Amino acid sequence: MECPRCRGSKLVLQDHLGIEVDACPQCRGMWLDYHEMDQLEDTVMDQDHLKGSMMYAERPSDIRCPKCAQPMTTFNYRAYDLPIDFCDGGHGFWLDAGEEKRVLELMEKRLRDLKRTASAEGEWVGFLKGISGRKPPRPGSFMNRVKGWFTGRR
């Protein structure tokens, strides 16, 4: 495969965090098949149901897929200001130099945020239990639990 950025530089197989990717020796970008992008994220967080939506603000890309040569699409990765290109035909993702590190940083941030949210909800339920002397509200969304305390529905 040829690099979609350098147009002429051949991609070479390279091991990155135990994942075999196609990398450009010239621009240092890398091609990840769909399952390889998932493997990259899984090095930090492997609970897919907690990752959230990956693609936001899709728009035409200025590069073509190195596998099918069709125009790619750019999106903001998980609603952050990290533009990543992907093949609409399902072939994979192009990460420019350093973007793989940013993906890992954002997954680490997501994991920290989820832990902080769970901790805050636990403290809030404990606080409500302490002031009411009653059992905590039934499981469900945070707002359903708060409404239950004020409406008497449990």
Domain count, the chain: 2
92, 130: one domain:
no
Residue found by looking up tokens 């940083």 in the block: 105
Same domain (yes/no): 58, 84: yes
User: pLDDT tens digits for 82-114?
Assistant: 999 999 999 999 999 999 999 989 888 888 877
Structural domain harbouring 132: 117-151
What is the DSSP code (8-state) at residue 80?
A: S
My answer on whether 70 and 21 are in the same domain is yes
144/29 Cα distance (integer angstroms)? 46
Residues 36 and 87 in one domain: yes
Tens of pLDDT, residue by residue over 32-81, are: 998 999 899 888 877 766 667 778 899 999 999 999 999 999 999 988 88
Number of helices (H) and strands (E), helices first, in the chain?
A: 4, 7
29, burial (CB in 10 Å: exposed 0-12, middle 13-18, buried 19+): buried
- Distances in whole angstroms, Cα of residue 122 to Cα of each of 114, 117, 125, 132, 151: 12, 9, 5, 16, 21
For residues 130 and 104, state if they share a domain. Answer: no
99 and 64 part of one domain = yes
